[in-house]
Chains A and B, each alone.
Chain A
């Protein structure tokens, strides 16, 4: 995770964010942090039932969920949202904000379809880093069996040993030794084409 560039700009003035928290105070704290970031509109709920109603009627650009939300289960809320295929909310970036990690819930959390996990306590710089991360996330979404959400594999380390892999981009043959001379630095620089990016 890269550090934040203090001079970079963000524009959340038109973003609508749903906060699903365990208590009104926790929701208020998050709401205040988002207000500081310039978020135009936040909707705060402290129950899964309330969140489900809002998700049916409003469109959100970002969803922040604590899985221990009352009157339901935050994990189920997220899984149901992803599998509902009701656009655009079903594809909205979701950040799961977990407090203490229950031993029994670690795998469950991984399979909800959230884009990112943040460990509490929430600090403004950490939350902003994660928001920027989900905005820049280039992973494709995947529908496989009961799972719908971003590809859970962050790193591609090649196909499993003794297999040809399943991706069309998996190399079938070993690469072997290089046959041509190495490229010069100028040739490499020319391939990169650095561009200025506004965030």
Chain B
């Protein structure tokens, strides 16, 4: 049986945050949105570069390393597009991550599904799609149906920690 030691280190963040002064939460959130918006353009350019990189990688021979690179790129697209409110693009990128994380040997249709995801993301970045919410929703609904047939559920946490 392992020895368990419990202790309470100083929480310096709590002390700093409670100091007099500062800003209201409403002002902090508003200012954060303004600051985030100031980097939108450069982040969107980077996002399009990642989409190009994904397309290029998908045209190469399937290897574990290639899939890992594609997974990381897709994960970046998921996080970065979602932070700017590109919900459908973010959701498709997340779906692609699920597909790339699944066991490749069990999915004969995997290459085709990956290709469809990348094409869907490129379509969602097309300027004509920006104002067409119904079309974006249709793209997402189709992909969700496709992925649901293949993705594996996350295992339950069956061994809860005792500390």
A residues whose Cβ falls under 8 Å from a Cβ of B: 4-15, 22-23, 25-26, 28-29, 32-38, 61-62, 66, 68, 87-88, 91-93, 99-103, 106-107, 110-111, 120-125, 128, 131-132, 134-137, 140-145, 147, 151-153, 166, 198-199
Contact = CB atoms under 8 A, between A and B. Distances in A.
B76 A22 contact: yes
B22 A36 contact: no
A4 to B, nearest CB: 5
A89 B136 CA distance: 45
A6 B26 contact: yes
B109 interface: no
B82 A120 contact: yes
Given A100-B75, A144-B2, A4 B29 contact: yes
Contacts of B32: 32-37, 124, 128
B36 interface: yes
Contacts of B157: 106-107, 110
Contacts of B21: 9, 11, 13
Contacts of B10: 88, 91
A32 B80 contact: no
Interface residues of B, number: 62
Given A29-B80, A32-B36, A37-B32, A11 B101 contact: no
A11 B15 CA distance: 9
Interface of B: 2-14, 16-26, 28-36, 38-39, 42-43, 46, 71-72, 74-76, 78-83, 90, 94, 97-98, 101, 152, 154-155, 157, 159, 161-163
Secondary structure call for the B interface: helix
Nearest to B31: A36
Contact of B35 (A10, A13, A23, A33): A33
A38 B28 contact: yes
Nearest to B4: A144
B101 A25 contact: no
Given A6-B24, A25-B80, A15 B17 contact: yes
A152 B161 CA distance: 7
A38 B22 contact: yes
A121 B78 contact: yes
Q: By CB atoms of chain A within 10 A, which of B30, B72, B76 has the most?
A: B76
